[in-house]
């Protein structure tokens, strides 16, 4: 499947959901890291090379939108995917404006998760490629 395993950080305050995510994502041949809070996720981001952040929105203390914003500001090269069991138009708009590339509503199938992961990684590669081309043109 993947010749190089992308590193995916999964953030959810529900232990059972984290375990399910991890099992599903490992079966798709990705390397996984997990965190049960935003503060724990930030430590993982600081100490590991992460390609994709998957975060729940509704968590105690600091929510997933704040994690998306933090990641976009400090690690803009990381793709971001939001999953939520409490979807709303406002949350979806906030997530996308904050830097999320995909928004997935729980419950979802492993196929839907796989597609969202692939789309997030591809969209980020395209975005980075366009940014690099713009920088090259600006330097000429």
DSSP 81-105: EEEESS--HHHHHHHHHHT-SEEEE
Domain with 67 in it: what CATH number?
3.40.50.2300
14-18, 111-115, 126-130: segment of lowest average pLDDT: 126-130
Alpha-carbon distance 35 to 81, whole Å?
15
Q: How far is CA 122 from the centre of its chain?
A: 12
Determine, yes or no, domain membership for 111: yes
Q: What is the count of structural domains for the chain?
A: 1
Determine, yes or no, domain membership for 128: yes
Domain containing residue 30: 7-139
| CA dist 111 → 15, 92, 107 (Å) | 22, 21, 12
Determine, yes or no, domain membership for 65: yes
Average pLDDT for 3-7: 75
Determine, yes or no, domain membership for 1: no
For the stretch 38-90, pLDDT in tens is 999 999 999 999 999 999 999 988 999 999 999 999 999 999 999 999 999 99
For the stretch 109-123, pLDDT in tens is 999 999 999 999 998
C-beta separation of 12 from 56 below 8 A:
yes
C-beta separation of 11 from 54 below 8 A:
yes
Determine, yes or no, domain membership for 2: no
Determine, yes or no, domain membership for 47: yes
Determine, yes or no, domain membership for 106: yes
User: pTM for the whole thing?
Assistant: 0.87
Determine, yes or no, domain membership for 17: yes
């Amino acid at each position: 499947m993947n010749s190089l395993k992308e590193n995916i950080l999964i953030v959810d305050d529900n232990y059972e959901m984290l375990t399910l995510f991890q099992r599903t994502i490992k079966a798709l041949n990705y390397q996984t890291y997990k965190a049960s809070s935003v503060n724990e996720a930030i430590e993982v981001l600081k100490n590991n090379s992460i390609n994709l952040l998957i975060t729940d929105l509704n968590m105690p203390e600091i929510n997933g939108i704040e994690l998306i914003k933090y990641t976009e500001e400090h690690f803009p090269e990381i793709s971001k995917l939001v999953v939520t069991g409490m979807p709303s138009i406002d949350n979806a708009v906030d997530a996308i404006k904050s830097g999320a590339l995909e928004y997935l509503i729980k419950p979802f199938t492993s196929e839907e998760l796989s597609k969202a992961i692939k789309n997030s990684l591809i969209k980020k590669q395209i975005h980075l490629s366009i940014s690099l081309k713009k920088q090259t043109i600006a330097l000429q």
